[in-house]
Amino acid sequence: MNQRAKFVSVAILTAAVILSYIDRSALFLLISEVERDIPMSLAQQSWLLGGGFAIAYGIAAFPAGILLDRFSRRHILFWAVTGWSIFTLLSGFCTDYLSLLICRAGVGIGEAMLAPGAYSLIRSYYDGKARVRAFSTFSVGNAIGGGVALLITGVLLHYPLSLPGLQSDAAPWRAVLILIGFAGVVFAFLLLTLHEPARAVEDKTSSASIIPHLKSNRRLYLIVYAAQAAMGASLFGFMAWAPSFLIQSHGWSASYVGANFGQLQLVASLGGLAFGTIILQAFAARDAIAAVAAYGGATAFLAGSAMLGFSLLGTHQTVWVFLTLMLFCFPSLALVSALALAHITPVRLMARISSISFVLASSVGASIGPALITYSAEFASGSDRPPDLALGIAVGAGVPMLAAALLWTAYALLPKQPPTVQRLEMS
């Protein structure tokens, strides 16, 4: 496989993850608009933003890993993107809460296929420092996906369009979801051009072969998985409720928050990813996986501290400073997780083992994160006052991120790695 084919494949996978963020995150900015059209409680909104998506994601993720390790990753990813895009499109026609929740679950099932498949393909394409660069490129999607989602959603809200099949007085959020879903169906055909490296028959192993590997490296996997669950709860919860917090606490419009939040995320996240890539490539060159974990611990501590400042101390001006620091840190955390898994996981098991991490980060995290913020906000305010989202974000997002910092630090301080752990391969 030549370098150009590898680069194009990674670029398509990066575009796919950006699309996934648009489909899952558009509702974060639209939720107040949706609630006017389909009345729902704060708890129901939390399930719509997190739980409905997350439970379906969790149910589908590990079976997806088995399929991806045994069959064509290219074709599975094509059907996954097509499927979740159709559910996003159908969301625009929902008239009740239950049907909208079912569509969110459909999006979760489709998105459960993407990250394990992409990790498996990238693990097959590259080794060593080249793998750091490839995962960094893929992480661009994680870095800017939420920002692109907010920008696109904000623009479509600001310039509403009339679409065939919708009544002229239909709420603008419906057209936004229909357009996003249609664009995803068209994009899915690009995934059929992905390069699929040939796999030896012995690489198509049964799921039982995972158990001995997990047992022999259990300390490392336990820490990595726990850190990813904590980061998932923090990041998903924060991104789900931060736009609503800014709208309610500072009196800004949804389009204003979407435009400014989105632009800031694009700039700060790309800067943080570039900085993190340089640092982590230097660690990879010295085979210093402990240093990679230590960098993850320091970055998670900064991000968690900034979340506390954002929610509890932020003014009209300083709230953007705290947000910038958070968005600068987030991409490096995804890259640290990817490198930690690739370091200890053979390619034949990569889709299944990474699917476990995504169940924890995106499924468990997405279920716990928004709900923890909701319940913390309601508990702090009592029954006679509006929910205190500031304290909710501090407890539901800031505290889990600080817990992740402790876990990555523990990984870095492990006295000795098991002999079965793979060494970082040098290109």
d(CA 44, CA 320): 29
Report whether CATH 1.20.1250.20 matches the domain 7-195+210-412: yes
Q: Per residue in 123-170, pLDDT tens?
A: 788 776 677 778 778 877 777 777 788 788 877 777 766 666 565 556
Q: What percent of the chain has pLDDT over 70?
A: 86
Whole-number pLDDT of residue 170: 62
* Mean pLDDT of the residues in the chain: 81
Average pLDDT over residues 256-268: 83
Q: Per residue in 245-259, pLDDT tens?
A: 888 888 888 778 877
Whole-number pLDDT of residue 166: 60
Whole-number pLDDT of residue 120: 83
Q: Which residue has the higher pLDDT, 237 or 398?
A: 398
Q: What percent of the chain has pLDDT over 90?
A: 20
Judge whether residue 202 has pLDDT over 50. Answer: no
Instruction: For residue 94, give both structure tokens.
Output: 């929902």
Q: Per residue in 292-338, pLDDT tens?
A: 889 999 999 999 999 999 988 878 888 999 999 998 998 888 888 87
Which run of H or of E encompasses 99?
A: helix 97-111
DSSP string, 4-71: HHHHHHHHHHHHHHHHHHHHHHHHHHHHHHHHHHS---HHHHHIIIIIHHHHHHHHHHHHHHHHHHHS
d(CA 97, CA 48): 9
Judge whether residue 40 has pLDDT over 80. Answer: yes
Alpha helices of 200-316 — where are they, by DSSP H?
A: 210-216, 218-250, 254-285, 289-312
Whole-number pLDDT of residue 364: 66
Judge whether residue 422 has pLDDT over 50. Answer: no
Instruction: For residue 159, give both structure tokens.
Output: 């310039």
Smallest CA-to-CA distance from 90 within 23, 39, 41 is with 23
Whole-number pLDDT of residue 78: 95
3-state SS of 180-204 is HHHHHHHHHHHHHHCCCCCCCHHHC
Whole-number pLDDT of residue 132: 74
Instruction: For residue 144, give both structure tokens.
Output: 């800017």
Judge whether residue 201 has pLDDT over 70. Answer: no
Return the amino acid letter for 189.
F
pTM summary value: 0.68
Whole-number pLDDT of residue 31: 83
Q: Per residue in 50-60, pLDDT tens?
A: 777 878 887 88
32-to-63, 110, 153, 185 alpha-carbon distances in Å: 34, 25, 13, 26
